[in-house]
């Protein structure tokens, strides 16, 4: 990749995606946010002497081996049970109480388990990248050969 060029991401916030696996397989939704796992992006080099990096309780293991996941609106919903807790208010004399209950939270999905849906032809598609003659980089649908949108 030439120096100074940024990589065009396959899936971005606001894209419509199709879920390929899991309990919601076959459903479509809009990407709320893209989550990058910085621990998985940086490669862990072995310590001096050729030994692998260890923690106190055995071998060190990253939180996830996948670098990117997406949160899709209304899909992969998990329930979170919360207790009512007392939090500090604006003054010490009036403490606020955080309400307890059951929350529905959209959990991240690995980027390999979703497929981008083309906004032009409404087909789930793989993405190709090209550079236009004016230097802009675009994502192209492999079915209809149209640009999805232009990235400056």
pLDDT tens sequence for the chain (152 residues): 455 555 667 889 999 999 999 999 999 999 999 988 765 555 444 444 444 445 455 555 555 555 689 999 999 999 999 998 887 666 666 667 778 899 999 999 999 999 999 999 999 999 999 988 998 888 999 999 899 875 44
Helix or strand or coil: residue 8?
coil
CA dihedral 81, 111, 115, 23 (to 10 degrees): -30
Q: Tokens for 115? A: 């497929």
CA-wise closest residue to 75 among 97, 49, 108: 108
Q: What is the pTM of this model?
A: 0.67
Q: How far apart are CA 140 and CA 149, in angstroms?
A: 8
- Does domain 8-43+58-79+105-117 match CATH 2.40.30.10? no
CATH 2.30.30.30 placement within the chain = 8-43+58-79+105-117
């Amino acid at each position: 990749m030439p120096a100074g060029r940024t990589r065009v991401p396959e899936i971005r916030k606001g894209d419509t995606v199709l879920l390929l696996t899991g309990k919601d397989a076959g459903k479509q939704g809009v990407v709320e946010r893209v989550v990058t796992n910085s621990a998985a992006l940086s490669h862990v080099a072995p310590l001096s002497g050729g030994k692998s990096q260890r923690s106190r309780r055995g071998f060190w293991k990253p939180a996830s081996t996948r670098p990117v996941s997406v949160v899709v609106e209304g899909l992969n919903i998990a329930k979170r049970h919360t207790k009512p807790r007392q939090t500090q208010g604006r003054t010490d004399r009036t403490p606020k109480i955080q309400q307890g209950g059951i929350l529905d939270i959209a959990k991240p999905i690995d980027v390999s388990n979703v497929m981008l849906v083309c906004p032009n032809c409404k087909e789930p598609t793989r993405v190709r990248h090209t550079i236009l003659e004016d230097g802009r980089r675009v994502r192209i649908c492999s079915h209809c050969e149209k640009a999805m949108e232009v990235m400056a």
